[in-house]
């Protein structure tokens, strides 16, 4: 009998996220976007992130699915800046389950989101991530992103007593 090497696994399918996907997407995000990932409070993964984007831009919220299991997701939105004729596509969250990263799921998601952005008249895509997220930076550079700009975050702790500065009279 000759051995055949057929692969019964379906290829990942990219489709729009539905309301039933929200819990699974949320839990995948919880594993990826931990407190260590989001050191600044500016970007934290919580249930509002998904529901807000799903409510405002459901066609820009997509998932990769294989055998009824979600492998990853991309959540985006569009932005119009004042005084600019351009429409921007903001890829807010892109995540692939840790155990199947580097198998082109991220690429498939990104390509589909890019197609959807173009369809909506987007001229430029924006992403942001922390400066030490080398895998993501490499991923985005591979897909043509450039013009990297650094951003500074500062904090002021209001619970600490501030020392009063006294001005000496001359």
Minimum CB separation of residue 166 from ligand COA in Å reads: 48
Minimum CB separation of residue 99 from ligand COA in Å reads: 11
In the bound state with ligand COA, the residue whose beta carbon lies nearer, of 106 and 122, is: 106
Q: How far apart are CA 36 and CA 34, in angstroms?
A: 5
Minimum CB separation of residue 56 from ligand COA in Å reads: 18
Instruction: Tell me which residue has its CB nearest to ligand COA.
Output: 106
In the bound state with ligand COA, the residue whose beta carbon lies nearer, of 121 and 135, is: 135
Q: Which residues bind ligand COA (CB under 6 A)?
A: 32, 93-96, 101-107, 129, 133, 135-136, 138-139, 142
**CA nearest 110: which of 88, 125, 132, 131?**
125
In the bound state with ligand COA, the residue whose beta carbon lies nearer, of 98 and 163, is: 98
Minimum CB separation of residue 51 from ligand COA in Å reads: 18
Minimum CB separation of residue 163 from ligand COA in Å reads: 40
**CA nearest 75: which of 32, 12, 130?**
32
In the bound state with ligand COA, the residue whose beta carbon lies nearer, of 42 and 163, is: 42
């Amino acid at each position: 009998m000759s051995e055949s090497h057929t692969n019964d696994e379906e290829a990942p399918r990219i489709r729009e996220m539905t309301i039933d996907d929200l819990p699974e997407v949320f839990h995948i995000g919880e594993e990826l976007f931990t407190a260590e990932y989001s050191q600044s409070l500016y970007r934290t993964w919580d249930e509002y992130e998904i529901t807000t984007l799903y409510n405002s831009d459901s066609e820009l919220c997509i998932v990769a699915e294989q055998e009824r299991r979600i492998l990853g997701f991309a959540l985006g939105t569009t932005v119009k800046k004042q005084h600019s004729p351009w429409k921007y596509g903001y890829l807010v969250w892109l995540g692939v389950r840790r155990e199947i990263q580097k198998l082109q799921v991220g690429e498939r998601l990104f390509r589909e989101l890019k197609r959807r952005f173009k369809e909506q008249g987007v001229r430029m895509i924006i992403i942001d991530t922390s400066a030490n997220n080398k895998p993501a930076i490499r991923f985005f550079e591979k897909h043509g992103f450039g013009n990297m700009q650094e951003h500074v975050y500062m904090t002021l702790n209001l619970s600490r007593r501030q020392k009063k500065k006294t001005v000496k009279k001359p």
